[in-house]
Structure 1
Amino acid sequence: MGIRFFGRKSTRFGVPFILLVVGGSFGLREFAQLRYDFRTRRTISKEDAEKMGIKMKDAQEVTLESEYEKIAQIDTSNWENVRGPRPWEEGNKLYEEAVERVKKMETGK
């Protein structure tokens, strides 16, 4: 009886397939759970952002209507595509300011 049972195609191929599908769903659940367990999500206060050199606006200042008005005033029919400087290029003021800010933060700690 045992040789006949294990000799069937449905047993030889079906049982491992079912085990793979069921076991895979449990394994996938564990891997997907890692995404939510180790998510680093924290909010930064306005004071902390100002210490880092970032100027945050109040929530009341930024609305959908105010941003639409800013964009509506921009002339989008006549514009020129200008490539910004790369961090490794000389004369990049923004990159130099960012490096100085990081140095100040490291020495301030």
Structure 2
Amino acid sequence: MRIPQALAKNKTVRFGVPMLLLIVGGSFGLREFTQIRYDSFKLHGKKIKDAAFDDWKNIRGPRPWEEPKSLQEQQRKSA
């Protein structure tokens, strides 16, 4: 009877053990989520080696006060 009461009053058991469980459990959880990220990248990987960069031109995005479509169309035509 004294052991459960003593464990309930012990700060290490009340706070330390749950904290360690969260840290270790969180580590395993994050590992699973990051593995999903890398697996999806393998499936939908970018094929940079197939892309043609010879005719590439940098077109800047519009500023807040500019009209987005007309500015980009002008830049594409002048390229």
- For 1:11, the aligned partner's letter is V
Say if 1:3 and 1:34 are closer, same or farther in 2 by CA, change over 3 A. Answer: same
Identity of aligned residues (%): 40
* Equivalence map 1:62-101=2 (5 Å): 86=62, 87-89=68-70, 92=74, 94=76
Distance in 1 between residues matched to 2:21 and 2:45, nearest whole Å = 37
Partner residue, 2:24: 22
Distance in 2 between residues matched to 1:25 and 1:85, nearest whole Å = 40
- For 2:45, the aligned partner's letter is R
Partner residue, 1:41: 45
Say if 1:85 and 1:14 are closer, same or farther in 2 by CA, change over 3 A. Answer: closer
Partner residue, 1:105: none
- For 2:26, the aligned partner's letter is G
Two-structure CA RMSD over aligned residues (Å): 3.0
Distance in 2 between residues matched to 1:21 and 1:43, nearest whole Å = 37
Figure out how many residues of one structure are paired with residues of the other and give that number.
Answer: 63
State the structure with bigger RCO (CA 8 A, min sep 6), 1 or 2. Answer: 1
Say if 1:89 and 1:15 are closer, same or farther in 2 by CA, change over 3 A. Answer: same
Cα deviation for residue 43 of structure 1 reads 2.6
TM-score of the two chains, using structure 2 as the length reference: 0.59
Contact between 1:6 and 1:12, CA under 8 Å: does it hold in 2?
yes
Distance in 1 between residues matched to 2:16 and 2:61, nearest whole Å = 60
User: If each structure's helix is expressed as a fraction of its own residues, which one has the higher value?
Assistant: 2
Cα deviation for residue 34 of structure 1 reads 1.6
